[in-house]
Amino acid sequence: MSPNLRAFLDMVAYSELGPELLAESDNGYNVIVGSAPGRAVLFDDYSRHPNRLVSMKIKGRRVDSTAAGRYQILARYAEAYRMQLGLPDFGPDSQDRIAIQMIRECGALGDIEAGHFARALRRCASRWASLPGANYNQHENEPADLEAAYVRAGGALA
């Protein structure tokens, strides 16, 4: 995996989970949606997506989600990608491969490899609620903060 792609994946995990949850877990790979720093809800069976439905209040409204893992992948998508990509489980390598496929589907791989971070971020906004412009009516992180996380993770800008 190229340094830029690894850094972009690290940035997505940073955006979705934050540095505290990444540190409190298996680098985010075992985090259940709704976790918070100091209150991490983790799973320990990587054989399959945990498919645990969690109800939360976000911006004053109820949100139900099965998101899990480093990239907060919904159960229904995890299973579809598992079959599409021939993945054996929901372990770290499989989660990375799912996230890369999601990036590929957004048409952002070339932008990431070329260091066009802002364009790649815009293209991937539909996949992750925490990215700017996602429009899921949830918290979105600032582009400058995410760019800084990407650069800290070893990503190069064009």
Point out the residues that are catalytic. Answer: 16
Contacts 24+ apart (CB under 8 A), 26-32: 26/92, 27/70, 27/92, 28/69, 28/70, 28/71, 29/69, 29/70, 29/91, 29/92, 29/95, 30/69, 31/68, 31/69, 31/70, 31/72, 32/67, 32/68
Q: Say how many C-beta atoms besides its own lie within 10 A of residue 43's C-beta.
A: 19
